[in-house]
Amino acid sequence: MTHWPLAAFAALLLLPSCAMFSQPNLVKTKPFGVRKDGAPATLWILQNGDTEATVTDHGATLVSLKVADRLGQVADVLLGFDDVSGYESDKNQYFGCTTGRVCNRIAKGRFTLDGYDYQLATNNAPNHLHGGGPRSLDKVRWRGVATQVDGAPAVEFTYRSPDGEEGYPGVLDVKVTYSMPRPGELRIDYAAVADRRTPVNLTNHAYFNLAGQGAPTILDHELQLFASRYTPTDATLIPTGAIDEVARTPLDFRKPVRIGLRIDELTPTPAMGYDHNYALDRDGNAGLVDAAVLYHPATGREVRIATTEPGIQFYTGNFLNGQAGKGGASYAHRSGLCLETQRFPDAVNQKNFPSILLEKGATHRSTTVLRTSAR
Considering the candidates 205, 221, 296, 364, report the single residue annotated as catalytic: 205
Q: Assess contact for 264 and 310: CB atoms under 8 A.
A: no
Q: What amino acid occupies position 68? A: A
Considering the candidates 156, 165, 309, 340, report the single residue annotated as catalytic: 340
Q: Determine the Cα–Cα distance for residues 213 and 86; give it in Å rounded to an integer.
A: 15
Q: Determine the Cα–Cα distance for residues 70 and 43; give it in Å rounded to an integer.
A: 28
Q: Which residues, at least 6 apart from 278, have a Cβ–Cβ distance to it below 8 Å?
A: 225, 227, 229, 230, 246, 251, 311, 312, 313, 314
Nearest alpha-carbon partner for 169 in 238, 99, 102: 102
276 catalytic, yes or no?
no
Half-sphere exposure of 161 (CA within 13 A, CB side): 32
Distances (CA, A) of 375 to 16, 182, 234, 299, 301: 38, 18, 39, 8, 7
Q: Determine the Cα–Cα distance for residues 117 and 108; give it in Å rounded to an integer.
A: 12
205 catalytic, yes or no?
yes
Any idea which residues carry the catalytic annotation? Answer: 205, 340
